[in-house]
Structure 1
Amino acid sequence: YQTSYANELPALYRNLGGGLFQDVTKPSGAGAGLYPHVNWGAGFVDFENDGDCDLYIANGHLQDNVHRYSDTTTYETANSVLLNEGNGRFRDVSSLCGEALAERRSSRGIAIADLDQDGRCDVVVSQARSRPTLLRNESQPAGHWISVRLHGRGTNRDGVGARIRVMANGVSQVREVHSGRGYQSHWGTEVPFGLAAATAVDEIYVQWIGGGEQVVKSPPIDRVVHIIESSSGRP
């Protein structure tokens, strides 16, 4: 996902494999409500634990006098939340996300993590000429969850670059461990998964950046699972 300047659509590219990508911004609705604004940090995260990654976008113009020559955007504007409907489309639900999302700032970077360990991902937003904003997720979750924290031994300490696959109720979800993300931001290295209707996880498969593989069978859910590289395979 690539954010953009004012009067330009951000872009969502679908990976077709073989080094090919397809621009699916318009058919997916991933640019809904964003065209007038300057977009900065953005990130995919499952806010509802329904197994589908939603999209949070920080908005805010560079010029504090933009209102003098534009009637479509302002220096301070609201951020955006696009809900993944699970059918290849996103829907703008920003107006349904409470007073905090309606607040107008000139936002820049974002960091998303479950700060209070309640299974719901929260958002920290950096602001131009202002203090950062902490948004606590108080939505009603649609399912259980599990978070994975890797501890590298033969590779780097935080497992950066590793690929994690969670299998639950016949559904496979894959995430990678990143360090920096988006605009001047770091999310931490704990990787959350929403489990939707699943009441158990069959296995967690880890492919470490050094090439090693590891499987954890039947881990507990609704908690953070710690996996140590080259351990016995139990959390």
Structure 2
Amino acid sequence: YFENVYEDYGLNHRGFGFGALFTDFDNDGDQDLLVNHDFGYKAVPNFLYENSYPRKSFKDQSKAYAMDLKENAMGSAVGDYNNDGLLDYYVTNIKFNLLMENQGIGEPFVDKAKELGTSIFMISWGANFADFDHDGDLDLYVSNGDLNPNCTPMGNFFFENDNAKFIEKGRATGTNDYGVGRGSIVFDIENDGDLDILVVNQKAVQEYPTASVTRLLRNDKPQGNWLKVALKGVQAETNGIGSRVEVVSGKTKMMREIDGGGSSHLSQNTVVAHFGLDNAKKVDSVIVTWGGGKKQILLDQNINQLLVITEVEDEKIPYWYAIFAALLFILLIGFYGRKKRKSVKTVNQG
């Protein structure tokens, strides 16, 4: 059964929480916590809690990492958009969204939204990093909308990652729906290797000029190779939630964190890790870091497949075997001790 340990773990702060995401921002193998706050500009800013495992506590690192964002934060996408091995966070907001780039352990995050082209005036909610075009980097989908009938309907964003610069292509890709967007997820509905989008739209006011209904956006861009990885935890969580998968293909190394819910806006993406491989003919290695830090490596994997990886259990030595080994060790010590004493006695007699 469950016990409320919120305050015991040092999480006794208050605010207008609008969503939370467990994520390993510092690459130490445990789950940290990112909390988005509405009205952060005038009340309580966002929180970033560092997991102090094995101690049963979290440490507030919001200011130290410049993640105490004073915004109307609604949701967040997590992903390593520049393939540097560090997780970055796209935080949706009223007005301008933020792309918080991870600078490494002990270094504050830096907002790159304006520099990289993802800072556009809007009221945003859901957001998802995914490699929609299979070119080896993460693109970004953002759902937008507001219920105010005086607001102009807001099309959703589709930012294509072009060498770590983002180009907005919502209209060109057919993803700029003008409903009142809220949560969004990515998953492979047809099992054809590419990622599709489901976006939930809130019912609009009567005067709203366009239909605001749930949209299922099928990805029909047939190019580039891919790999999907499904984890089956044994000692770790069953679906590998909280684990991460790295894929190495040639000079490219990509990383995905398995989503346990809370990403985008009140949503959960697929737990199957997806990698675009462009024109690669094989995968050199797949590295799984299971929740808890244990690593498992598979070499020379085929492309365009769903690779299911079952966690290898730690070998447990039977109780009787441990006792037998201990007794054998004691007997050997005694045997060699007697042999040594006998040898010394013989030398003395000589």
Query: TM-score scaled by structure 1?
Result: 0.87
Whether 1:26 aligns to 2:114 is yes
1:127-182 superposed Cα distances (whole Å, 9 cap, x missing partner): 102542100001232x2000110010001101111111101112111111111112
Equivalences for residues 47-196 of structure 1 within 5 A: 47-63=132-148, 65-67=149-151, 74=152, 76-86=153-163, 88-98=164-174, 101-129=175-203, 131-141=213-223, 143-180=224-261, 181-196=263-278
Q: 1:128 to 1:119 in 2, by over 3 A?
A: same
RMSD of equivalent CA atoms: 1.4
**Alpha-carbon distance in 2 for matches of 1:138, 1:213:** 35
**Alpha-carbon distance in 2 for matches of 1:114, 1:147:** 10
Query: Once the 2 structures are TM-superposed, how far is the Cα of residue 210 of structure 1 from its aligned partner?
Result: 2.0
Moved more, 117-126 or 212-221: 212-221
1:83-138 superposed Cα distances (whole Å, 9 cap, x missing partner): 1001x21011112113xx24420010001011111111100001102542100001
Query: Once the 2 structures are TM-superposed, how far is the Cα of residue 223 of structure 1 from its aligned partner?
Result: 1.4
**Alpha-carbon distance in 2 for matches of 1:80, 1:131:** 17
* Alignment check: 8 A CA contact 1:164 1:204 kept: yes
Q: 1:103 to 1:188 in 2, by over 3 A?
A: closer
Q: 1:102 to 1:161 in 2, by over 3 A?
A: closer
Query: Stretches of 4+ moved more than 2 A in 1?
Result: none
Query: Once the 2 structures are TM-superposed, how far is the Cα of residue 18 of structure 1 from its aligned partner?
Result: 2.1
**Alpha-carbon distance in 1 for matches of 2:109, 2:267:** 25
Bigger radius of gyration: 2
More helix by share: 2
* Alignment check: 8 A CA contact 2:117 2:167 kept: yes
1:29-77 superposed Cα distances (whole Å, 9 cap, x missing partner): 122xx30x210000111010000110000000132x223xxxxxx2x43
Query: TM-score scaled by structure 2?
Result: 0.59
**Alpha-carbon distance in 1 for matches of 2:110, 2:293:** 29
Query: Once the 2 structures are TM-superposed, how far is the Cα of residue 23 of structure 1 from its aligned partner?
Result: 1.1
**Alpha-carbon distance in 2 for matches of 1:139, 1:188:** 19
Among candidates 93, 96, 99, match of residue 9 of structure 1: 96
Segments of 5+ residues of structure 2 without an aligned counterpart are: 1-89, 204-211, 314-350
How many residues are paired up? Answer: 214
* Alignment check: 8 A CA contact 1:179 1:188 kept: no
What is the aligned partner in structure 2 of residue 39 from structure 1?
124
* Alignment check: 8 A CA contact 2:157 2:176 kept: no
Segments of 5+ residues of structure 1 without an aligned counterpart are: 68-73
Identity level (%): 32
* Alignment check: 8 A CA contact 1:42 1:56 kept: yes
